[in-house]
Chain A
Amino acid sequence: MSDSARIHTPDIPLGRLIRMPGGKNVGQALDDAEKGLQSLRGESMKELQRVLEKAGDYYSRAEGKFNPLLVNAFYDLINGAIGLPTVGKDRAIDSMLVSLADLLDYYRTSGEWGDKSVQVHLSTFQLLLRTEGARDPEGTAAILSGLQKVSRKAARG
């Protein structure tokens, strides 16, 4: 028998508040928000450079073997960086970070380690940071598609 449940519809003022007179139109609001994000671009790129250096350090210290503490720290580092590149409208780096997070999440739960798979992600990270603003879109898409295949292949074992 299921436990008893109380089902009700609470009053949510948010809808009334956002319909109050004044405010902004959608186009202006989106423009203003994008401009605000642009102001964070420099800081975001600096942080990504730091993340790349730290990731390289973790990779070196792993010495080609699974190390649970290192993999967890590596995963936390990459997880924390997802979202930063899009501040500078760089979706390609974000896609790479998500692929690397998928890979590291698989390794930390399976106890495996794929040195080459991690290395190809870090090389791509470096390449994308260096060529920021001057990339061939088709070439970049091909690289990212390749990375996703690497992550999925690792997860399939």
Chain B
Amino acid sequence: MGFSTDSRARFNLAQVSVLLLEETSLGMSILVQILNGFGARKIHRCDTVEKAEKVVQETDLDLLIIDAMGRSGAGYDFVRWLRRSGIRPNCYVPVILTAAHTPASAIARARDCGAHILMAKPLTPRAMLDRIVWVARAGRRFVECDSYAGPDRRFKVSDLPAGVAVGRRREDGVSVPG
């Protein structure tokens, strides 16, 4: 990741339908200013989980930026609900989770609720753009099982443990770029 401010690469968010879930009005204004600056025009602003659920049920979305919502963790619960909702295509859409204070427990919760990535506040435009481009990459697998629904949490591809000749997964022992 990492964009240079003099990069001439172009990107187009004008047709991207984005849902924002952020309970404070200043926090919402920060997100909207960043996305407007990027050229996003279809922004659905929600300050409660109920409003966000309604948008998910009624509108096709391309990106969700969801705040964890402090101690209550309602943001994590919303993402878990989204992944289990069966509302296609929204249940598979990339989710960027934002959080202010991020102890280790918050990071584990973000990973396990089904978000694509967790961004710690303060949010900066450069960091936000990096994450949007990153989650937009095609090819990330989706896992659905009893205990988890969301993007594949496995990033690391390492060799088989000592003494093991054959791995359980098809790609074990195979180098995967990136």
Chain A residues engaging chain B, CB cutoff 8 angstroms: 2-15, 17-27, 29-37, 39-40, 43-44, 47, 72, 75-76, 78-87, 91, 94, 98, 101-102, 105
Chain B residues engaging chain A, CB cutoff 8 angstroms: 3-16, 24, 26-27, 29-30, 33-39, 62-63, 70-71, 89, 92-94, 100-101, 103, 121-126, 128-129, 132-133, 135-147, 152
- Is B36 a contact partner of A23 (Cβ separation < 8 A)? no
**Which residues from chain A contact B93 at a C-beta distance below 8 Å?**
12, 14
- Is A82 a contact partner of B124 (Cβ separation < 8 A)? no
A23 to B42, CA, bound (A): 14
- Is A79 a contact partner of B140 (Cβ separation < 8 A)? no
When C-beta atoms are compared, the residue in chain B nearest to A87 turns out to be B30
- Is B30 a contact partner of A75 (Cβ separation < 8 A)? no
- Is A18 a contact partner of B142 (Cβ separation < 8 A)? no
Minimum C-beta distance from B48 to chain A (A): 16
Q: A24-B11, A29-B11 are in contact. Are A15 and B70 (CB under 8 A)?
A: no
- Is A23 a contact partner of B33 (Cβ separation < 8 A)? no
A13 to B60, CA, bound (A): 11
A52 to B9, CA, bound (A): 42
A101 to B122, CA, bound (A): 14
- Is A8 a contact partner of B136 (Cβ separation < 8 A)? no
When C-beta atoms are compared, the residue in chain A nearest to B35 turns out to be A33
Q: A10-B92, A76-B70, A80-B24 are in contact. Are A24 and B39 (CB under 8 A)?
A: yes
A2 to B12, CA, bound (A): 42
- Is A26 a contact partner of B5 (Cβ separation < 8 A)? yes
Partner of A32, one of B7, B11, B37, B133: B37
Minimum C-beta distance from A144 to chain B (A): 14
**Which residues from chain B contact A11 at a C-beta distance below 8 Å?**
89
**Which residues from chain A contact B12 at a C-beta distance below 8 Å?**
17-24
- Is A84 a contact partner of B8 (Cβ separation < 8 A)? no
